[in-house]
Amino acid sequence: MPAPETSAPPGVILEGDNLTHLRALDDGVAQLVYADPPFNTGRTQTRRSLATVGAPDGDRTGFGGRRYVTKLLSESSYKDHFDDYLGFLEPRLAEIKRILDPTGTLYLHLDYREAHYVKILLDELFGRENFLNELIWAYDYGAKSKARWPQKHDTILVYVKDISRYHFDSEAVDREPYMAPGLVTPEKAARGKLPTSVMWHTIVSPTGREKTGYPTQKPEALLRRFVQASSRPGDLCVDPFAGSGTLGAVAAKLGRRYLLIDESPEAIAVMRRRLGAA
């Protein structure tokens, strides 16, 4: 059975260049690092938060003839482009390896266009023998191209500090329903199955309670699996590209400590609202 959720000590949020902050950390302090760097798509990523409110002179008509107007609550964006993406990542990944505990794990969340290049770099930094998994986060939301197969997945590369001693607790991970429960025993169907390397989960709902309005926010349920499997209560989990602070939210609920880093004042403000007295 998964471990019960417990209260965690307050986490830490740091603003500024993550390379500078990572270099200031002691060797081996982190049990888990989840890193979700910019994807290098070449586009400007934008997220808008909207609200529809009643207004006599509104530009929309709803149920019963009521008039409504849509207001822009907030907008955040960043340029997602690097001339030398690997050159940007390499020193940060080297520091991530250094701060990992000997039993620790890195989850690196990447765009499909960069994953194969970055894997070669990770093989050099961590050692090819310490490659644990390629995870696929698959979702079915948003526009779909008609000129090619619609792209609906991200890649997460999983590397451990030492393949001979890394921590992984599959029993701690929340189980999920079988896709074909009739093919297993009733007992197995009731228990559910361990998530596999292909993880189907929707993106954060634009109208859900979890939404912060931050671009590229990842769902808590996805990161929850990583934290459950690769850390223990009380361990330190680090996110050097923290964005909306999803890792911190998950870590706190599971009784882990967290350290979140981001250079964007917008991201820091979102995390403070989301996480409270961190």
What pLDDT, in 10s, does the model give residues 32-84? 999 999 865 444 544 444 445 566 666 655 555 666 554 544 444 434 456 78
Same-domain status, 235 and 100: yes
Pair (229, 121) in one structural domain:
yes
- Do 60 and 99 lie in one domain? The reply is no
Same domain, residue pair 61 and 127:
no
In a domain, 3, yes or no: no
Give yes or no for residue 87 having a pLDDT over 60. yes
Residue 106: inside a domain? yes
Do 156 and 204 lie in one domain? The reply is yes
Query: Quick check: 275 and 11 in contact, CB under 8 A?
Result: yes
Q: Provide the pLDDT confidence category of residue 158 given band limits of 50, 70 and 90.
A: very high
Judged against a pLDDT cut of 60, whether residue 125 lies above it is answered with yes
| Domain count for the chain | 2
Residue 6 lies in a domain: no
- Mean per-residue pLDDT, 136-147: 84
Helical axes 246-253 vs 265-275, angle rounded to 10°: 20
Residue of 139, 129, 127 lying closest to 93 (CA atoms) = 127
- Assess whether pLDDT exceeds 60 at residue 277: no
Choose one of 55, 80, 105: the last residue of a domain. Answer: 80
pLDDT at 257 over 90: yes
Residues 37, 12, 33, 244: is their CA dihedral positive or negative? negative
Distance between CA atoms of residues 152 and 140, nearest Å:
6
Contact present, 44 and 77 (Cβ < 8 Å): yes
Residue 107 lies in a domain: yes
Q: Judge whether residue 255 has pLDDT over 70.
A: yes
Q: Are residues 244 and 166 in the same domain?
A: yes
Contact call for residues 240 and 18 (beta carbons, < 8 A): yes
Tell me how far CA of residue 53 lies from CA of 29, 50, 60, 66, 75, in angstroms.
48, 10, 10, 10, 18
Answer yes or no: is 207 within a domain. yes
Positive or negative, the CA dihedral 15, 21, 22, 26 is negative
Q: Which of 80, 100, 132 is the last residue of a domain?
A: 80
Q: Which comes out higher in pLDDT, residue 152 or 228?
A: 228
For residues 225-250, b (16+ Cβ closer than 10 Å) or e, as one string?
bbbbbbbbeebbbbbbbbbbbbbbbb
The predicted model gives 174-199 an average pLDDT of 93
Q: Does a structural domain hold residue 7?
A: no
- Are 108 and 50 in a shared domain? no
| Domain-ending residue, one of 23, 57, 80 | 80
Range of the domain at 55: 44-80
Identify the CATH number of the domain in which residue 119 sits.
3.40.50.150
Same domain for 76 and 127: no
88 lies in the same domain as 76: no
92 within some domain:
yes
- Run of H or E residues at 250: helix 246-253
Q: What is the Cα–Cα distance from 271 to 278, expressed in whole angstroms? A: 9
How far is it, in rounded angstroms, from Cα 272 to Cα 278?
Answer: 7
Q: What does the pLDDT read at residue 6?
A: 53
Same domain, 57 and 178: no
Beta bridge partners of residue 80, listed in sequence order: 43
Looking at the domain assignment, is residue 4 inside a domain?
no
Q: Using CA atoms, how far apart are residues 78 and 80, in angstroms rounded to an integer? A: 6
- The stretch 84-104 carries a mean pLDDT of 96
58 plus 147 within the same structural domain: no
Residues 76, 138: one domain? no
Q: Is residue 88 exposed (0-12), middle (13-18) or buried (19+ Cβ within 10 Å)? A: middle
**Contact present, 237 and 251 (Cβ < 8 Å):** yes
Kindly state the greatest CA–CA separation across the chain.
67
Helix %, strand %, coil % for the chain, to 5?
30, 30, 40
Tell me if the pTM is above 0.85.
no
